[in-house]
Structure formats: C-alpha cells, structure tokens
C-alpha cells in the first residue's frame, strides 16, 4: 500500500467527497458535514449562561440520594435558613446539609442550576441529569415555562 493511502483520508474517500460536492453542490455538502458532526457528537452543546447577580447570595449543599451534592441558592440569609430547615424536616431519610453561607456565582462548571419556583433563587446539582430531574419535578407541580439547567461556579465565602 502506498504511503499516501494510509492516512486518515484515503484517496478513494477524497474522491467520494469531491464527487458529492461537485454533484450535489456546496450547500448539501455543508449540510452533510453538519449532520455528521451532530451524529458523531462533535457538535457543541448549546448552554445558556445564567446572568450572574452582582450581589452576594446565600446557599447550602446537601447530599442527594445518589450521593452527589445538591445546592440551594437564595437571596437572603434568613430565607436560606428557612429553606434548609424545611429540606431537613421533609427529607424521607436523614440528610447532611451544610450551614447556610454567603456565596458568589461565577463562570464555571461546579454545579448545574435552574431557577427555583418555591424559593427566590436557584436549585442545583453537580450532574446535569440531576438538575434536569429537579426541573421536571418543579414543572410537574407548577404550570410555568420550562427552564434550562445552566452551569455555574460557586464560591462559598
């Protein structure tokens, strides 16, 4: 086999791509490449960014059933204490929740958060799938618009 035929793009593959391009025109070729990128997982995931509030927020973390950390973020310290007390009281199993602490949201990937319906703030989880499950539970209880989980960094003070 020739050296030119051993690379990732063989001559036959290049000829096929050229024939597709010349036969179908440029637009279908680019659509084909875009579809191939999506199907192979090369396309970027669309992630909206949360508008990061300039003020200090309050929050706590707790271990979820799947042993990952969940996050609750609210606007005031007293509201955080009330939300934490309700969470511990309503939990079906004993939970370990940290004390409420001031925090800042920064760009990053520490947690996936979604706007909360029952508190003035956000609910979050370390895994996107868990955040989406939180959103589905909220949407089931409240006929509001669907909200998207978004990644953030969390800096506890």
DSSP string of 68-122, one letter each residue: SEEEEEESSHHHHHHHHHHHHHH-SS---BPPPEEEEEEEEEEEEEEE-SSSSEE
pLDDT of residue 96: 83
Together in a domain, 64 and 137: yes
Together in a domain, 80 and 107: yes
- In a domain, residue 52? The reply is no
Together in a domain, 67 and 138: yes
Provide the domain limits for residue 33: 3-39
- pLDDT tens digits, residue range 12-51? 665 665 665 565 555 555 555 565 666 665 545 555 556 6
- In a domain, residue 19? The reply is yes
For the full predicted model, state whether its pTM sits above 0.85: no
- pLDDT tens digits, residue range 130-152? 999 888 888 666 665 567 899 99
């Amino acid at each position: 086999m020739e050296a030119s035929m051993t690379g990732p793009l063989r001559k036959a593959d290049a000829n096929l791509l050229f024939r597709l391009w010349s036969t179908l025109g440029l637009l279908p070729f680019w659509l084909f490449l875009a579809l191939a990128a999506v199907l192979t997982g090369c396309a970027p995931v669309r992630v909206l960014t949360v508008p990061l509030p300039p003020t200090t927020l309050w929050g706590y973390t707790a271990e979820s059933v799947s042993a990952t950390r969940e996050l609750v973020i609210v606007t005031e310290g007293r509201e955080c204490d009330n939300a934490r007390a309700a969470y511990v009281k309503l939990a079906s199993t004993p939970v370990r929740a940290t004390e409420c602490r001031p925090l800042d949201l920064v760009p990053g990937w520490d947690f996936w958060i979604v706007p909360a319906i029952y508190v003035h703030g956000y609910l979050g989880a370390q895994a996107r799938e868990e955040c989406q499950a939180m959103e589905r539970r909220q949407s089931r209880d409240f006929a509001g618009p669907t909200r998207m989980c978004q990644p953030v960094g969390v800096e506890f003070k």
